[in-house]
Each structure stands twice: as C-alpha cells, then as structure tokens.
Structure 1
Amino acid sequence: MAIKDESGATSPTLQDKINMLVALPLPHEHVSGISDNPDSIGERIKVIAKAAGISDSLLNALRLGRRDNPTKVTMQRLADLYDIDPAYFTDGPLGTEIYRQLQLLQTMAEIKKAHTPQLKIAFRDHFGLSARGADTALQILEQLRDLEAGSGSREP
C-alpha cells in the first residue's frame, strides 16, 4: 500500500507504518504478565494499545486504514512505546528512513528467531562479510543488546 512520491520512489503509508509497529516484537517492559509476545493480531493490538495508553479500537482502525489522521498525542504515545522519533508517522524522508530501519530490525529478529545461521548468511550476502566477520557482527549485536538491556537507558 506504499505510495509513490515525485521521484517515483515508494513511501510507506501510515497504515504500513502502524502495521510495522504491530508486527515488531513488543518492548519487554510492556509485556509483563504475558508468557511471550502475543501471537494473534487481536492480542497484540490490546497489549500495544494498553501499553501506549490509547484505545485498541483506534489502533486497529489505524492498522486497517479506516482512520488515517491520528492526533499528535496518539503518535507521541506510540513513538514513546517503541522508543522511536514521532517523525516516523510523517510522510517525509525521516519517516521513510525510520520505517526502513525498522524493517531491517524486524528481518533480523525473524531470522535470529528462526535460525541464527541464517542471520550469518544474511551478513555475508548483504554486507559482504566473511564467515568470521559474520560471527563477529552477530557477537557485537548480542553484546549491544545486553548492554542496552542492562543499562536501562534509552537515548533518542
């Protein structure tokens, strides 16, 4: 459902961006009491909406494209939940760039969840790394994750 800009490049719609957030792993501090990230869309919508302090019907309407003009407060709450810049929800280049970065993170999370060797293959193929370089990149990412989880600090 992406739209084309003047240059012919496609930009994600608000609906695409909301669906991306719904598909992302939930921030761990917001899923207490849930054994794992909820699997069904309905469960995910409820957990995300509750954590963000918005109604699940609003979030679902945005996800389905039935609503396309969220308030600044709604955008800020969702941005805060996922620790992203609220510009993500805009049509500008920053919103598109954040969307692409989230796509990459989602892909990496899916590959890692499915099979770590596939992540190493992606590092080799996409970034041209050797097998040793792919192992090192994976170790660095795991260390970064552990550092950020341990520090509790979230910088913009």
Structure 2
Amino acid sequence: MPETHRAQEVTDAMADEKPAPSTLAGRIDALFRVVRRPNREPYSHEEVARACREATGDSFSATYLWQLRTGRRDNPTKRHLEALAQFFHVPVAYFFDDDQGAAVAKELELLGALRDAQVRSMALRAVGLSPEAVGTISDMIDVIARREREHGAADGTA
C-alpha cells in the first residue's frame, strides 16, 4: 500500500478513536489544547483575548473566552469567531461546519501526536523505509492499540 494511503489510514483510525469535537466549546478547547506557543507552552485566555480585541476592535475579555471554551456561553459574534480562527490559524468554518471541523480536528490530532517526542522520533525513524516496512509498522501499531483498548475495557479504564 502506498505510504500516503497508509498515513491517511492511521490518521483516520486516530480520528475514529477520538471523535471531532461537535460543540463550539469543544472545538475552542481543542485549539487551546493542541495549538501552542513556539516554546510548546499553552496560550492563556488573556493572551488570546488580547489578540482578538486587537484584531476586531471589539470587547473580548479573557472571561468571555473562558465562557466560550467551557460552554457557559455559546453565542459569539462572527467577528469573534473570525478573530479566533485568525489567531489559531484555522479556517473560520472550523467552528460551524461539521465537515470542515472534522478535517481540522484530524490535523490538530496529528499535530498533538507529533508534539510527543517519542511519536516524533518513531515517525522520523520511519522516513526512508520502504512502503512495505511502513505498512508493517502501521499494522503493529494497530494490533497494540487494539490490545490496549481491549485491556482498558476489561479493567474499566476505557
């Protein structure tokens, strides 16, 4: 199987295990969890709110952003969503189009996984291997993931 198809299958399998956030709050929270500063520290609500205020000229407080992120408020203006999209470098449709939201969620999940040093190390070590070797590694990961899911279900942690 070609390497790009296998990589897409792995990404699809990851997305199957963790569904894309379906609420505005879930989507905003996913951005905060995955998109980080260059030093890998998370952005603060105040930092993002300040950038959104500067982008829109509208009021946009850290408290309001926290309320959106936690679902306590769910009625942002279009300009607020555009500012959030601009800050996090996602299309504004991510917030209200299910297909676009799912596509961006897959990319965010992959970005989050690549932030893990061990995952990144494995990916880099696989560069240059034949498509068959990459397929074998992918199959091994599938077997291990299935075993861990079954084990988690058996001990109640899944």
Structures share fold, TM-score greater than 0.5: yes
Are 1:56 and 2:62 matched, yes or no?
A: yes
Task: Quote the residue 1:75 is aligned against.
Answer: 81
Counterpart code for 2:46:
K
Q: Which runs of 5+ in 1 are unaligned?
A: 1-9, 29-35, 131-156
How many residues are matched?
108
User: Unaligned stretches of 5+ in structure 2?
Assistant: 1-18, 54-59, 136-158
More deviation, 115-124/77-86: 115-124
1:106-117 → structure 2 map (5 Å cutoff):
106-109=112-115, 111-112=116-117, 116-117=120-121
Root-mean-square deviation (Å): 3.1
Q: Which runs of 4+ in 1 moved over 3 A?
A: 25-28, 36-39, 118-124
- Residue of structure 1 equivalent to 2:47: 47
TM-score normalised by L of structure 2? 0.55
- Flag the 1:57–1:122 CA change in 2: closer, same or farther, 3 A: farther
Q: Deviations 1:37-64 (Å, cap 9, x if unpaired)?
A: 545xxx7112222222231111100111
Structure with bigger gyration radius: 2
- Partner amino acid, structure 2, of 1:47: E
Q: Hey, what does 2:29 align to over in structure 1? A: 19
CA contact (8 A) 1:61 1:67 kept: yes
More helix by percentage: 2
Higher relative contact order (CA 8 A, sep 6+): 2
CA distance 1:115–1:58, change in 2 (3 Å) = same
**Change in CA separation of 1:116 and 1:103 when aligned onto 2, cut-off 3 Å:** closer
TM-score with structure 1 setting the length: 0.56
Shift of 1:26: 3.3
